[in-house]
Amino acid sequence: MGETAYFDVVLGESLPPQMITYLRLLCLGGTDAFLLEALFRNKVWEHLELPVSRDNEESICQVIQNACKSALAAYHTTIEEDEELLEREDLQSRQQIAIEVRVGEKKVLEQINDIFKEREQELDDLEYYQERRLKDLGFIGDNG
């Protein structure tokens, strides 16, 4: 297939909601794979806009945190070291710009990692597909 999704992640801002939906699809598996059946073809994106299952959400958190840690480990300097470099007066303008971009990339990676680390701590508080469906059918909640 070879398709890739792109999302703009901005330092200090929330992640794009469609990114979470896409990640849910990527991490869909096991007993959650029923959402990929033809029956749900027209509603799969709607279902993926909300948490599917704890396993799916946990998988997303782990995959993203691992990717962020791996990307950060690939840099040869830390943010602190880069900031020290930026204080030097003998930097050429291109070097300064390159270091500033590198610092920005690292900060965004740290931000994303922190978002998913925090999200992982909140998994017990989320309402998942199965619970929503049982409520809709009146088996649990006020009607059940």
What does the pLDDT look like over 7-53, one tens digit per residue? 999 999 999 999 999 999 999 999 888 888 887 778 888 889 999 99
Nearest to 132 by CA among 21, 51, 19, 30: 51
pLDDT band at 1 (very low <50, low <70, confident <90, very high): very low
- Greatest alpha-carbon span in the chain: 71
Is residue 144 over pLDDT 60?
no
> How many CB atoms neighbour CB 131 within 10 A?
15
Q: What is the pTM of this model?
A: 0.87
| Beta carbons of 113 and 104 less than 8 angstroms apart | no
Q: Where are the domains of the chain?
A: 17-126
Q: What is the CATH number of domain 17-126?
A: 3.90.1420.10
